[in-house]
Amino acid sequence: MIEQAYRFGESLGLSVWTEDEAGPFQTVPYAGHAWQPQGKPKRQPHEYVRNGTAKLLTLFHPSSGQVRVKGVTSSRNEILHPWLKQELSDILSRLPAPRTNLDPETNRALWESWCAGLDTPPALPDELPPLRVLLIWDNLLGHKSTGLVDWLIQNGIMPLYTPLGGSWLNMTESIQHILKQRALAGQHPSEPGEIIAWLEAVARAWNREPTPFEWGGKRATRRARSRQRRYALAKSGAWASRPVQYSRCTIIEKWQCTYQMTH
């Protein structure tokens, strides 16, 4: 279902977003490269003080590459949920006006099509708004709170949860890795505020010239590799989609044939 959202969601007129909370990032030296005079490498202290941690709340739009972040020292529900509602409300306000010509039955069928195959699909109310956004995120308890899920559905947002051990299905993991590497590589923050400032600054720089992401998960890679698998044939530039068996014989068997001329 998540792969279908990545591949077909935008073409169906739905805005596909992903969400995750990165961290915690500690106030410790981080490995990385740095420009230094030859023979004078940058050195990190072998002693440091753990002075708290920072986290990064992240919303990512793969088709445009735009990312929305907020650095925090805690990602509890009372911090995460208001930020999500504020950002998602702003995203909805920037989207084209929803379709109003759908009859209730067709609209419900559209919502239910994104619930197919789910073990515990969200409870859909009797009256549903037009579906406008697909939100892909982890299956944390805080993401499944009744109040938040009801707010999402009432605003035309369908939550899609990654399965247990399926964080590789969340593209936010990739953008968070990029932001962390660019912000913290080779640095030694002394307090969480520095980490937050660096991460948010890198995100602003990324948004000035974002890179769109395309889905290419493990199964998609295997299928593409299977379709591209070809076997060369002898004597020409021909290829076959499956191996061709040749009758092979040893040198001794070759010269023991009765019809072989010896002179």
Spell out the domain ranges in the chain: 2-208
Please say whether the beta carbons of 4 and 37 come within 8 A.
no
Highest mean pLDDT among 72-76, 105-109, 136-140: 72-76
Q: What is the pLDDT of residues 193-211, one digit of tens each?
A: 999 999 999 999 999 988 8
Spatial CA neighbour of 172 closest among 69, 52, 258, 45: 69
pLDDT band at 241 (very low <50, low <70, confident <90, very high): low
What integer pLDDT is reported at residue 68 of this predicted model?
Answer: 93
Cα(211)–Cα(182) distance, rounded to whole angstroms? Answer: 15
For the cut 60, the answer to whether the pLDDT of residue 261 exceeds it is no
For the cut 60, the answer to whether the pLDDT of residue 14 exceeds it is yes
What average pLDDT score do residues 41-55 get? 78
Q: Which residue has the tokens 């993991």?
A: 173
Q: Which residue has the tokens 């969200």?
A: 122
Cα(118)–Cα(225) distance, rounded to whole angstroms? Answer: 28
Cα(190)–Cα(53) distance, rounded to whole angstroms? Answer: 10
What integer pLDDT is reported at residue 251 of this predicted model?
Answer: 62
Q: What is the dihedral of CA 89, 90, 92, 96, to 10 degrees?
A: 160
What integer pLDDT is reported at residue 245 of this predicted model?
Answer: 63
To the nearest whole number, what is the mean pLDDT of the chain? 81
Which of 145-154, 155-164, 170-179, 219-228 has the least mean pLDDT? 219-228
What integer pLDDT is reported at residue 9 of this predicted model?
Answer: 76
What average pLDDT score do residues 104-109 get? 81
Q: Over the range 75-86, which residues count as b (16 or more CB within 10 Å of their CB) and which as e?
A: beeebbbebbee
For the cut 80, the answer to whether the pLDDT of residue 160 exceeds it is yes
| 2-208 CATH pick, 3.30.420.10, 3.40.50.10490, 3.30.2350.10, 3.40.50.20 | 3.30.420.10
pLDDT band at 66 (very low <50, low <70, confident <90, very high): very high
For the cut 60, the answer to whether the pLDDT of residue 257 exceeds it is no
